[in-house]
Amino acid sequence: MNLAMLRQVWRESRLLMLGCSIALFAFCWVRVWIVGRIDMSRFQGILEILRPEFENFSSIDFEQALTYPGRVGFTFTEPMVILLIVVWGIARGSDTVSGPLGKGTMEMMLSQPISRFQYLMSKNLVTLLGTMIIAASAYAGLACGIQTTTVKIEQKPIKMQIPLVKIQVEVPFTQDPNAPTRVPLANFVEKEDMFPSALNLMGLGIFFAGFTTLMSSWDQYRWRTIAIAAAFLIIQLMLRVLSLSMEDMTWLRYTTIFSLYEPEVLVSYAVHTKDGAWSFFFQKSQEDWKLGGLAYLTFLAGGGLAGFAGATWIFCRRDLPAPV
């Protein structure tokens, strides 16, 4: 590996990576803080009315979505989180081949004593490293939010012991003056339960980086590579929404990679069945087998790495056009 090439690629990409990491860290922290400020028990009745619509658009149970782990886990499904990891993948992937070709710098770069394989590997390694750092930033923001946020708890009435029968009864219209009004969110949410979802986010970033690099390897214009990747993203999101919202179109879930990006499901697995979060397949019930957290990560990251491999194969054999 050419270290000079690696350093140059790092210098080109570090600002974007730093920006995405800081933005994702801050967003996840604030998102968890907001979870701690809203007492969902007050909206229980209203949310029950919306239960059918919610269950149509969600992969987890309604009750799980109302718990603190479930609500914190939904942070990974926020459009801002998905957008930032995808922006990194598309931006760096489109700058591997079609970007330098469009700018006219590819010929100058390849005139240096490096092979095409070394050139592309340097780009791909920095892209993969950046994806890991950005996903780790999201998890770090979530962990900091869990550790620093407090949640309001309901003040329960004072209890009175009934003599002889040893039964406690609540005294109406009284409150325990020593009871805390707010307690740490960490009492309800284990930050380790969010780690499988962070890996799922990293897998999504690797997939889009690999796909965009593959598109870039045969293209000549960066704008066209970005347009193809963005159109692919939009179509995949639309397929996901249709598969969840329409009962006769559930088969569409097999046509979208977003069926493999379900961080809220992985949080549910981590809370209720640890085996589900850290296994490839697991048996949820007698006749119900489910994909585990490792399957989500393997399929997404495997698809992205296949894209990197295909891009390398195409680029090493391609006749490059003359600079425009």
Give the start-to-end residue ranges of the domains of the chain: 3-151+188-317
Half-sphere exposure in the Cβ direction for 257 (13 Å, CA): 22
DSSP letter at 69?
H
| Dihedral, CA of residue 189, residue 190, residue 195 and residue 200, to nearest 10 | -30
> What is the predicted pLDDT for the residue at 165?
65
Residue-wise pLDDT for 236-261, tens only, equals 999 988 888 777 888 888 899 999 99
H/E stretch holding 284 reads strand 281-285
Is pLDDT at 31 greater than 80 in this prediction?
yes
Helices 293-317 and 116-148: angle between axes, nearest 10 degrees: 150
pLDDT per residue over 126-172, tens digit each?
999 999 999 999 999 999 999 999 887 766 666 777 766 667 777 66
Cα-based torsion angle of the residue sequence 177, 179, 180, 181 in order, rounded to the nearest 10 degrees: -70
Q: Give the predicted TM-score (pTM) of the model.
A: 0.87
